[in-house]
Structure 1
Amino acid sequence: MTEAVNGASNTTQQYSASSLTPASSESLGKDAFMQLLVSQMRNQDPLSPTSNEDFIAQLAQFSSLEQMEELNGNILGLAVLQQSNALMAQLTDSAALIGKEVQYIDPTSGDELTGNVTSVKIEDGLAVLNIDGEDVPLGNVTEITGSGTNTTQTTTETTDAEGDSEPA
């Protein structure tokens, strides 16, 4: 009978040492569990002590719960990352429209208009194009009609018989 009690206290010492090392910000939960486990052992009925298997089962349940919480945190982080990537993809795709002429449905009047995209921004998780000074959600664009207004002017110079250059 003495060996069983010593075995139980050795088991408790092993779990105490490994569980009390602060590995993460969740160490408070581990500490609270270990305090509860030690308190349960101290206050158990000596005539019908709790078996080692029961303590190990409790520890396994706690470990499973902790792993599920960690997995949940990882999944939430992945969802945030995926949302961020989707926003960046929208922004990148929309940036390709800068300088292009597009047809769109005016968000205020509902009329179909044509204009040039001058800038792009993300607003409330959606790409918003600035078309000729008006903010238009990307979803309102119905057609990309051309390459936009050409703002570059080309000048050609000609040289006369005396070698003087003159604009054409």
Structure 2
Amino acid sequence: MTDSAISTKNIWPNYSSTNTQSTTSSSSNLGKDEFLKILITQLKNQDPTQPLQDKEFIAQMAQFTSVEQLTNMNTEMKLMRQSLGIASGLIGKNVTWTAVDSTGASTVKSGIVDSIILKAGQQYVKVGSEDIALDSISQISNPEAAK
């Protein structure tokens, strides 16, 4: 038996690189646009003798709506988390965070929040000369009263 008799060309001609389209995208997650493209492609290429049943079509449209609503909800949650109004409640509070220095050593620090700043779309609390990302804060408390 020769090597030419056993080839992927003879076994899987439909998987040839010329028969497939590129499936790479900039994101590894499927979003609502990709879901809609899949649904439209499915409708274009369905078997005319066995069209998509109404129940299946309604179920897929419900899935599309769910994907869209989850995407919208995710966006709203990000906006809510980044709201300056909510973060401004931290001003005057004592916060604790873990700082990592250039050698990789971590130390727990705490201090009173002086202000809230926004850099590159992310909020930071200003404690003295340090800017701490909100997601780095591990504890928030009222400052101790002077005795």
TM-score bracket for this pair, using the shorter chain length: 0.3 to 0.5
Asked which structure has the greater CA Rg, the reply is 1
Higher helix fraction: Structure 1 or Structure 2?
A: 1
Structure of greater relative contact order (alpha carbons < 8 Å, 6+ residues apart):
2
